[in-house]
């Protein structure tokens, strides 16, 4: 299977509602799509970096540059490497994990489609459906927050995660508990605190949260360990876990008890599987994080979430949680029991609507062999 061309697009898709975190607010999704074409078969991947280097150091522009200059050229006109082999070949390029992950996902899709098996099967997934929750952004008022959460619970989502930041932490949690009782609830700070704020987390410790996600700086495992030692609630690391080795260090230090896995953050699905396996061997539960991906990136996340140690509800929601019109049809839907079905068709297993992709495209380049 010789690679005939790789196509890059930057797409923009309006969110249904703005999404606010401790580092900012967005009302339009911006990401890259990667399409690999080889012998009449194609594979798709998504790079969820976004406009600004706020979640991590990457942006859509940095990813575009690295893909165009370093990741794509060695592939053109050559046999399509197995994704694991691609990951080994690009390991010497430092960082740029999301750029690598998007291209690696396209290679997974390509090979799986050619073999006529689903991406979930190719990755070693076992579950036909996965339990899911919603990641709820910061709202202008607590009443609006409660209203949105009420809506999601009515739809059947199994757990709620809220974004917190200094000044929006204990009170929203307390009010959610008052209104909705004993629901599965967790919080995500996206690194907005330092250890001086340990008192906030000791207060949150009294609310029976499932976990507290990334309270402190991404490069500060030592302070996370100091904080975890003061809490009953498990700390879950997201931004800090940039590869499987980082998880090994975090777990050895006691910096967390749960790990959020995002294939884009760790540099690809191969590394994500290695991270899953490491956590499984140590008895550490994992769940699949999200970057508000379009249906293309979410299909890859769903396949990954079907692996056996993904036991907690995921940040994977139905298409209508994010967009009025997704890039795939049929859209991802929520089952009545708060699960989402893992695609069974070959590759990503979703139908990409090219005319919607074209309409959303703001930049396009094709790199032929
Ligand atoms: C998290 N996401 O777990 C991320 C980070 C995040 C679903 O909570 C635009 C696009 C804004 C992606 C903000 C969820 C974003 C984004 C935060 C992802 O930390
Ligand atoms: Mg997070």
Listing DSSP states for 299-313 in one string gives: HHHHHHHTSTTB-SP
Rg (CA), the chain: 20
- Could you tell me if residue 162 is inside a domain? yes
* Residues in the chain, pLDDT under 70: none
190 lines ligand 1 (CB under 6 A): yes
Looking only at Cα atoms, what is the longest distance across the chain?
A: 61
Question: Which DSSP symbol is given to 234?
Answer: P
Provide the pLDDT for residue 215.
98
The CA 334 to ligand 1 mean position distance, Å, reads: 20
Sequence-separated (6 or more) residues with CB below 8 Å from residue 250: 221, 224, 237, 240, 241, 256, 259
- Could you identify the residue written with the tokens 């140590």? 282
pLDDT of residue 193: 98
Residues 101 and 153 in one domain: no
239 lines ligand 1 (CB under 6 A): no
Looking at the structure, tell me whether residues 217 and 303 fall in a common domain: yes
The per-residue pLDDT for 3 is 98
Query: Are 178 and 306 found together in one domain?
Result: yes
Residues 164 and 188 in one domain: yes
Q: What is the CATH number of the domain that holds 79?
A: 3.30.390.10
d(CA 236, CA 261): 10
DSSP designation for 67: I
pLDDT score recorded for residue 138 = 97
Total tally of structural domains belonging to the chain:
2
Give the ligand at the shortest distance from the Cα of 56.
1
Domain limits at 15? 3-116+353-368
**pTM for the complete prediction?**
0.97
Q: Is residue 348 part of a domain?
A: no
- Cα of first residue to Cα of last residue in the chain, in angstroms, is 13
Q: Is 220 within the bounds of a domain? A: yes
Same domain membership, residue 65 and residue 175: no
Q: Say whether both 24 and 83 belong to one domain.
A: yes
Residues, the chain, total?
369
Same domain, 74 and 213: no
Tokens (6 digits) for 230: 């003061």
**Are 168 and 292 contained in the same domain?**
yes
Whether 84 and 144 share a structural domain? no
Predicted local distance difference test score (pLDDT) of residue 95 = 98
Cα 139 to Cα 283: distance, rounded to the nearest angstrom: 36
């Amino acid at each position: 299977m010789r690679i005939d061309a790789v196509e890059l697009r930057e797409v923009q898709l309006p969110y249904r509602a703005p999404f606010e975190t401790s580092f900012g607010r967005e009302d339009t999704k911006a990401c890259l799509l990667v399409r690999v074409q080889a012998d009449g078969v194609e594979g798709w991947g998504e790079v969820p970096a976004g406009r600004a280097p706020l979640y991590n150091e990457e942006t859509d522009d940095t990813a575009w540059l690295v893909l165009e200059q370093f990741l794509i050229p060695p592939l053109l006109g050559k046999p399509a490497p197995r994704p694991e082999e691609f990951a080994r070949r690009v390991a010497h390029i430092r960082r740029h994990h999301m750029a690598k992950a998007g291209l690696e996902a396209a290679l997974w899709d390509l090979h799986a489609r050619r073999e006529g098996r689903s991406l979930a099967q190719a990755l070693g997934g076992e579950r036909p459906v996965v339990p899911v929750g919603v990641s709820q952004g910061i709202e202008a008022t607590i009443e609006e927050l409660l209203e949105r959460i009420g809506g999601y619970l009515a739809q059947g989502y199994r757990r709620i995660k809220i974004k917190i930041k200094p000044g929006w932490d204990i009170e929203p949690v307390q009010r959610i508990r008052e209104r909705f009782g004993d629901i599965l609830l967790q919080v995500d700070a996206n690194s907005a605190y330092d250890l001086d704020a340990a008192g906030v987390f000791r207060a949150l410790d009294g609310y029976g949260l499932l976990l507290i996600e990334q309270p402190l700086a991404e490069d500060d495992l030592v302070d996370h360990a100091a904080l975890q030692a003061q809490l009953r609630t498990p700390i879950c690391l997201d931004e800090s876990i940039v590869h499987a080795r980082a998880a090994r260090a975090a777990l050895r230090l006691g910096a967390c008890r749960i790990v959020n896995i995002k294939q884009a953050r760790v540099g690809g699905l191969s590394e994500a599987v290695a991270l899953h396996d490491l956590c499984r061997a140590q008895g550490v539960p994992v769940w699949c994080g999200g970057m508000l991906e379009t249906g293309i990136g979410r299909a890859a996340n769903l396949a990954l979430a079907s692996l056996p140690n993904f036991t907690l509800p995921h940040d994977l929601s139905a298409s209508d949680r994010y967009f009025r019109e997704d890039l795939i049809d049929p859209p991802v839907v929520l089952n009545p029991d708060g699960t989402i079905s893992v695609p069974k068709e070959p590759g990503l297993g979703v139908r990409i609507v090219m005319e919607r992709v074209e309409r959303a495209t703001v930049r396009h380049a094709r790199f032929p062999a």
